[in-house]
Amino acid sequence: MQELLKKFENKKAEIVFEWSDSESEAEGWVVINSLRGGAAGGGTRMRKGLDKREVESLAKTMEIKFTVSGPSIGGAKSGINFDPNDPRKNEVLERWYKAVMPLLKNYYGTGGDMNVDEIHEVIPITESYGLWHPQEGIVNGHFHANEPEKIRKIGQLRQGVSKVLEDPLFTPNGPKKYTVADMITGYGVAESVKHYYEIWGGSIRDKRAVIQGWGNVGAAAACFLALEGAKIVGIIDREGGVIRESGFTVDEVREMFLKRDGNKLVAENFIPFEEINEKIWDLENDIFIPAAGSRLITQSQVERMVNSGLEVISCGANVPFADKEIFFGPIGVWADERVSVIPDFIANCGMARVFAYLMNDQVELTDQAIFSDVSETIKNALKKTHQESSSKNNIAQNSFKIALGQLV
């Protein structure tokens, strides 16, 4: 596995597009790892301090993710180094998408990612430049769709991704309406934990879970885990968090989801970051969901959680361990050899799978059909890993081995 990984990591990306904004300090990159199958896909993220290397590693992660989610295309990613809280954010995005429009028309499909919203930013801006949908490049480059097929596939994409959820199983009841794109990644992360216990043995009921990050992924994963009977005992966010060792009720978790201020946790008995960061890693817990940024989980934090009874980590964030290696360094390996680590390309493939599903010929556009398809995709990937080895350790490494076998 390590040899395959090195080979894949060291292979140069096929296309690197570099951009410097003429009207601000923003800079950005599209990295297309390969045009496997004639196209590549991967979302657009924005954060201050982002660099080309981060975009390169995420493009490679996407390529591995497509071996699970489909379609059989190359991995790509867009990254913009700019403060997403800057009031000029929208103008920067408008100039960015104008610059990358030729790629999006022909062979690159994008979507939302960290600090960039699919429904409210990506779709309206790219539409204003004449793109039918941000995934149009994949429909053109990979599927070579004729006009009627293209109209049907893009119609399904437009309808499915921004579909307002109606089924109470998949949305928290509240004044705000939520879409497939809001809930699907967190749902997949929670389903990966449920399927893990079904396949490797045990039950998710009454397992204690700690969540890192309270954006769409972490908050939705917490809601779905709570619905399955897991106890959310701690949440750590950028500015602080909450702990309740007996577990928050389903209604309390849902309430914290609905009360979010953007991606920020708002809750009673809020503990400041310094204090919660001291305590949370020693909480007795079985399930850990890293769903904040990449490369945040340190060796010490993993060791403390393992000592507190941790059983499974489901990676809601891409590359959550603080390793310098592109995918999997010493911290990730250490964790994988001691607990069950469900890698990011399986756990958080929900949105990529939705895109793949909606690009099929004529699909059912119901909440149940879209969410069940994601659940089934994750379950099948975990079953393949279990066939490779039934050990509860080295799940991430065995999953990488299966994926890389298709790419290297």
The pLDDT tens digits for 253-268 are 999 999 999 889 999 9
What pLDDT sits at residue 175?
Answer: 83
Q: Is 173 part of any domain?
A: no
- Cβ contacts of residue 121 below 8 Å, gap of 6+? 90, 93, 112
Q: What angle do CA 146, 356, 216 make, to 5 degrees?
A: 135
**Distance between CA 224 and CA 229 in Å, rounded?**
9
What pLDDT sits at residue 381?
Answer: 98
Residues 141 and 198 in one domain: no
The pLDDT tens digits for 142-186 are 999 999 999 999 999 999 998 999 999 999 877 889 999 999 999
The pLDDT tens digits for 16-60 are 999 999 999 999 999 999 999 999 999 999 999 999 999 998 999
**pLDDT band of 316, cuts 50, 70, 90:** very high
Residues 15 and 152 in one domain: yes
Task: Give the mean model confidence (pLDDT) for residues 198-226.
Answer: 97
**Among 94, 127, 162, where does a domain finish?**
162
Q: Is 169 part of any domain?
A: no
Q: Is 4 part of any domain?
A: no
**Distance between CA 49 and CA 56 in Å, rounded?**
15
Residues 136 and 196 in one domain: no
- What are 287's two structure tokens? 């399930």
Question: DSSP per residue over 8-42, as a string?
Answer: HHHSPPSEEEEEE-SSSS-EEEEEE---GGG-EE-
Residues 152 and 225 in one domain: no
**Neighbouring-strand partners of residue 243:** 234
- Number of independent structural domains in the chain: 2
Q: Is 45 part of any domain?
A: yes
What pLDDT sits at residue 64?
Answer: 96
What pLDDT sits at residue 311?
Answer: 98
Query: Does the structure show a pLDDT above 80 at 106?
Result: yes
Residues 89 and 208 in one domain: no
The SS3 assignment for 276 reads helix
What pLDDT sits at residue 160?
Answer: 94
- Cβ contacts of residue 52 below 8 Å, gap of 6+? 16, 18, 29, 31, 79
The pLDDT tens digits for 330-374 are 999 999 999 999 999 999 999 999 999 999 988 999 999 999 999
Task: Give the mean model confidence (pLDDT) for residues 208-222.
Answer: 97
What pLDDT sits at residue 262?
Answer: 87
Q: If 0-12 CB within 10 Å is exposed, 13-18 middle and 19+ buried, where does residue 213 land?
A: buried
Element (H, E) at 47: strand 44-47
- For residue 101, what are the domain limits? 10-162
Residues 17 and 157 in one domain: yes
Query: Does the structure show a pLDDT above 90 at 1?
Result: no
Query: Does the structure show a pLDDT above 90 at 249?
Result: yes
What pLDDT sits at residue 351?
Answer: 94
**Among 162, 192, 215, where does a domain finish?**
162
Return the CATH number at 327: 3.40.50.720
Query: Does the structure show a pLDDT above 80 at 95?
Result: yes
What pLDDT sits at residue 220?
Answer: 97
Residues 42 and 88 in one domain: yes
- What are 3's two structure tokens? 């040899």
**pLDDT band of 289, cuts 50, 70, 90:** very high
pTM above 0.85, yes or no: yes
Q: Is 347 part of any domain?
A: yes
Q: Is 192 part of any domain?
A: yes
Residues 156 and 194 in one domain: no
What pLDDT sits at residue 349?
Answer: 96
Q: How far apart are the first and last CA of the chain?
A: 11
**Distance between CA 83 and CA 154 in Å, rounded?**
32
Residues 290 and 390 in one domain: yes
Q: Is 5 part of any domain?
A: no
Q: Is 20 part of any domain?
A: yes
Q: Please give the C-alpha separations between residue 206 and each of 180, 230, 283, in angstroms, as whole numbers.
A: 27, 5, 15
The pLDDT tens digits for 165-175 are 999 999 987 78
Q: Please give the C-alpha separations between residue 91 and each of 43, 111, 391, in angstroms, as whole numbers.
A: 18, 18, 50
Query: Does the structure show a pLDDT above 90 at 294?
Result: no
What pLDDT sits at residue 158?
Answer: 93
Q: Angle 180-200/147-161 helices, nearest 10 degrees?
A: 80
Contact between 351 and 182 (Cβ < 8 Å) = no
Token pair 């960015």 is found at 96
**pLDDT band of 191, cuts 50, 70, 90:** very high
Q: Angle 52-69/350-358 helices, nearest 10 degrees?
A: 60
Residues 149 and 88 in one domain: yes
**Distance between CA 404 and CA 389 in Å, rounded?**
16
Q: What is the DSSP secondary structure assignment for residue 179, as one 8-state letter?
A: B
The SS3 assignment for 233 reads strand
Residues 133 and 227 in one domain: no
**Distance between CA 101 and CA 107 in Å, rounded?**
10
Return the CATH number at 28: 3.40.50.10860
Residues 320 and 380 in one domain: yes
Tell how far CA 170 is from the center of its chain.
17
Contact between 161 and 181 (Cβ < 8 Å) = yes
